[in-house]
Amino acid sequence: MARRRQTVTIKHVAADAGVSLQTVSRVINNEPNVRPEMQERVREAIARLGYVPSIAAQRMSGSRSYLILALNDRDRTIADWRARQGSDWVDQMLLGGMLQCAEHGYRMIFELVDTHNDHVERELLAAIAALQPDGVVLTPPHSDNPLIVGVLARQNIPFARIGSLGRGGGIPLIMDDEGSARKATQALIELGHRRIGFIAGNAEYSLSQWRVDGWRAAMADAGLPTDGLLAASDFSFATGTSAARTLLGQAERPTAIIASNDQTALASLDVAHALGLAVPDDLSLISFDNTPVVRFARPALSAVDQPVAETVARAVDLIIAAQRDGTVPAAPVVVPAGLVLRESVAPPRG
């Protein structure tokens, strides 16, 4: 029976190079005050032994944990997972965050936190105590939760706030939701649409209002009315269905709808089919998110392509910079979104 190969540890590297554990840790972490010849000895020992640094070894320097904690909304994420209707927001968040962390020798830990939980502060403090992260990435609606923001500010931990303007601390990053809604509305106006409905998202998310503001601004710039053309949702398919029925049930219905996420856009498509309306001949549709499901709808839905992965990757870079030397941007960082036009938009009839 073959013997299991012994795992190479930082102690083996230190013994092979004839240096202390702390010296090996400093070399692994690219820290100053290690003589070049000593660095070379350690690196040669690492290569010779095939050593792969662990987080425990990196932590020996005492200044960093090499962990970044990403928080997402528990209720909505679990509900989507259980219903098997989840978008790829979490996938894109992990894609951008984990790959960028790896570029810096970090790891990303993903946690779900309930914004409505009375114990959210205690829950967050427990996670911080257990993981000792070097930074935290907040996603909506946590980005604007005063309890969560206050806890992180008091803990003196660098934290990024995606979908927030950053009042109260932290590093704010936005995906230009207002500008994206304006761009989507302008695209429909250029096709000849004059009655353009809008399905707003969950009011707990600041970005929901920004999108409404962008739609209103584009309509105002074109001298077009918005009365009776705004309907509310909470981002779910069910509330999207109700919102679409409200808009399309009017005597003078809109000829186009912009929905605040893919679930409400798919709900609008379903309602249009039920009413005998052809998309895009009778109704043009544009969504936000651009998750894979909209590409497989019939017709394929046009969508604002939100750069979730790029935004989280940028957040990781900013957190690491802040942890290293306190550098933070003076204004919210804007990561621009794109607009992908597919088969769901066309000029209105007549």
Which pLDDT value is given to residue 330? 84
| Model confidence pLDDT, tens digit, residues 98-143 | 999 998 889 999 988 877 767 788 888 888 888 889 999 999 888 9
Encoded tokens for 167: 């009042």
> Mean pLDDT for the chain?
89
∠ at Cα 166 (160, 172), nearest 5°?
A: 40
Specify the 3-state DSSP secondary structure of 28: helix
Give me the long-range contacts of 114-117 (CB less than 8 A, separation at least 24).
114/73, 114/74, 114/75, 115/73, 115/74, 115/75, 115/141, 115/142, 115/145, 115/148, 115/204, 116/75, 117/74
pLDDT confidence band for 54 (50 / 70 / 90): low
Encoded tokens for 64: 């960093």
pTM for this entry: 0.80
DSSP 142: G
Specify the 3-state DSSP secondary structure of 234: coil
Encoded tokens for 103: 């570029």
| Model confidence pLDDT, tens digit, residues 324-348 | 888 888 889 999 999 999 999 999 9
pLDDT for 96 beyond 90: yes
pLDDT for 198 beyond 90: yes
- Distant-in-sequence, close-in-space partners of 209: CB < 8 Å, separation ≥ 6: 200, 203
Instruction: Measure CA 101 to chain center.
Output: 15
Q: How many CA within 13 A on the CB side of residue 84?
A: 0
| Model confidence pLDDT, tens digit, residues 206-261 | 999 999 999 999 999 999 999 999 999 999 999 999 999 999 999 999 999 999 99
Which pLDDT value is given to residue 4? 45
Which pLDDT value is given to residue 298? 93
What's the Rg (C-alpha) of the chain? 25
Encoded tokens for 341: 């036009």
Specify the 3-state DSSP secondary structure of 268: helix
